[in-house]
Structure 1
Amino acid sequence: MKEPNFWSNPADRPGLAARVLAPLGAIYADQTARRVAKSGLEASVPVICIGNINAGGTGKTPTVIALSQRLIERGKSVHVVSRGYGGSLDGPLRVDERHHSADQVGDEPLLIAAFTPAWISKDRAAGVRAAQEDGADVILLDDGMQNGSVEKDATFVVVDAHRGFGNGRVIPAGPLREPISRGLARADAVISIGDAAAQDRFSSLWSNAVTVPRLSAELTPLQTGFDWTDQPVLAFAGIGHPEKFFATLKGLGANLLRAEALSDHQPLSTQLMTRLEIEALALGAQMVTTEKDAVRLPRAFRQKVVTLPVRLTSEDWSVLDGILARLGLE
């Protein structure tokens, strides 16, 4: 979904459209509050939610992967439960990256399953029960912050540091699923993702609104041995904010000849990929995409496209580690 321009206006200058749509935003916020207020399943193991207040991509999937790896290093059996957005199967189902496709289980669970056991379940409580029964020591909820069907032992709110909370208003008047104060009242920490300039911007605009501890992190390209310097590329991405991926490539020194911004989770049909391949050949460019997009590639194109993986990094994990210690997950 392409965000309206007024969603990014400063909070103190929302514009006419945001003011006109504010009553609808209040209705949306009340509906969210009713969903959250429901009593949910209390799991027998710790449940950690990685969610967001903003609609759209903020970096939840890299955060889930980073947190799961941190827990695995501590000897924990980590299972991830996801709704499986974009998949045709309802679950609960444990994802097998060797046999399932993104069309069946969604691209994010398929990517996560390469790192740790991942489940899809339209009914999140049923997914948590299945993960428990399968031996999970700790369960990560991929999204689900605004879903009250499962009790959370800890909640991390992930936010794009550059975008912040937009104009601070709720859909459709702004980019938020609920008011900041309500969301952060249920949160244990905020994880802001971006470079130093973006972190400074977030601090200047939103430090007064963030009432919980904050962890600053960044998405860092994984070293794969591929030399990006002056490499001509045709890049495509169907993530929340494709322009961030394109900027990363340019930052690595790639010669970005063509940038195809797709909608989030857009299917990579053979017809689409054939068109991109023809364009890449005409430009003398290498096709490049993200890890999340790569799992949706038709089999015939998997050897033709280079993937640029990124990992969530931070200079100080103490905020996260302190919360894990409180949950007995040292």
Structure 2
Amino acid sequence: MAAPRFWYQPKGLFSTVLAPLGWLYAMGTARRLRGASYRASVPVICIGNINVGGTGKTPTTIALAQKLISMGIEPHVVSRGYGGRLQGPVRVVERSHTAHDVGDEPLLIAAFTPTWIAKDRAAGVKAAEAAGAEIILLDDGFQNPAVHKDISIVVVDAKRGFGNGAVMPAGPLREPVDKGLKRADFVLTIGDQNAFDRALPVPRLRGSLKPLMTGMQWQGMRVLAFAGIGDPSKFFATLRSLGAEVIRGEALEDHQPLTEALMTRLELEGKTRIAQLVTTEKDAVRLPDSFRPKVLTLPVRLELEDWEPLLERLAPLLEK
């Protein structure tokens, strides 16, 4: 379901009425965090969030993996494989697995670095260790105690921030911000940095999502865009910033299946309005095979203003 609008507005009637349910949800999160953790033999970096939904964890994971590879370090990613049917642990193979098998995000990340899915995260980390991982990137799992984290990065949309500050269903949070940030080592804000003005008890990293220039000429192109990510409007805005004429943007639910019926409807609308279908990298891995040649993809990459604080924190762990 799409995030309720009141989550990102000052606290009002709905958030007040739902607050008791939020307290119960927060208590459940706190109870889960009391479990025992498996300590890996290699460093584990958790890329997670306090908000529900998408905040930019996947681009962050890819950017960090690429940075480590450039330093001669082999990272493996371990993910729960949200939306996939396989329990794991299993290594994601792009050519044989589908998003239905392993989830869309692991399938995308596997194009960059070895990626494992496992509903039991500790089992996934053990499999990655056995396969030669020199460092493990834990995709999500900030509220899961199964694996000890050496570094935890909380990713947040700079514009949306932590919303109204309430725990779901009263707000967009999985747990209260103050409690969550006590376990964090960094907060990474992505997007309009001037929009985020909250004081933080941990170092802040700043990043932005930049379109990957592939030679595609977007200027003046009529497009019918669709996206099932945390905030589809950001994708549509990126297309417009490149000069594309977005005749309509279809905002889908995060991870929403791209069924034949849905794609046929979009294809018909695109033909009627003489517009090219365009989507995100994450959505593209869920496309039915028959539609892959018909849809253009706009890839984006995360750029950090400064890697040094994170690399300095990581250096002692790599020396062990």
Interval containing the TM-score (normalised by the shorter chain): over 0.9
Do 1:71 and 1:329's aligned partners in 2 also have CA atoms closer than 8 Å? Answer: no
2:38 match: 41
Output the CA distance in 2 between the equivalents of 1:16 and 1:172.
Answer: 13
Gaps of 5+ in 1: none
1:291 match: 281
List aligned pairs for 1:18-29, cutoff 5 A. Answer: 18-29=15-26
1:131 match: 128
Change in Cα spacing, 1:15 to 1:326, as seen in structure 2 (3 Å) is farther
2:272 match: 282
TM-score, normalised with respect to structure 1: 0.95
Classify the secondary structure of the residue corresponding to 2:229: coil
Q: 2:74 aligns with which of 54, 73, 77?
A: 77
RMSD: 1.2
* 1:62 to 2:59 alignment: yes
1:222 match: 212
Output the CA distance in 1 between the equivalents of 2:225 and 2:14.
Answer: 34
Q: 1:86 aligns with which of 72, 78, 83?
A: 83
1:255 match: 245
Output the CA distance in 2 between the equivalents of 1:326 and 1:246.
Answer: 41
Output the CA distance in 2 between the equivalents of 1:112 and 1:219.
Answer: 16
Q: How far 1:328 sits from its partner (Å)?
A: 2.2
Classify the secondary structure of the residue corresponding to 2:318: coil
2:114 match: 117
Do 2:205 and 2:305's aligned partners in 1 also have CA atoms closer than 8 Å? Answer: no
Q: 1:270 aligns with which of 252, 260, 277?
A: 260
Classify the secondary structure of the residue corresponding to 2:153: strand
1:202 match: 196
Q: How far 1:173 sits from its partner (Å)?
A: 1.0
Do 1:189 and 1:319's aligned partners in 2 also have CA atoms closer than 8 Å? Answer: no
Q: 1:168 aligns with which of 165, 184, 199?
A: 165
Output the CA distance in 1 between the equivalents of 2:34 and 2:319.
Answer: 27
Output the CA distance in 1 between the equivalents of 2:256 and 2:13.
Answer: 32
1:181 match: 178
Do 2:39 and 2:147's aligned partners in 1 also have CA atoms closer than 8 Å? Answer: yes
Output the CA distance in 2 between the equivalents of 1:95 and 1:289.
Answer: 23
Cα displacement string for residues 205-244 of structure 1 (whole angstroms, at most 9, x for unaligned residues):
x1x2x11000110000000101111110010111111111
Do 1:166 and 1:174's aligned partners in 2 also have CA atoms closer than 8 Å? Answer: yes
Cα displacement string for residues 146-189 of structure 1 (whole angstroms, at most 9, x for unaligned residues):
00011101100000000000001111111000011111100000
Output the CA distance in 2 between the equivalents of 1:189 and 1:256.
Answer: 36
Output the CA distance in 2 between the equivalents of 1:18 and 1:271.
Answer: 36
2:28 match: 31
Percent identity over the alignment is 64
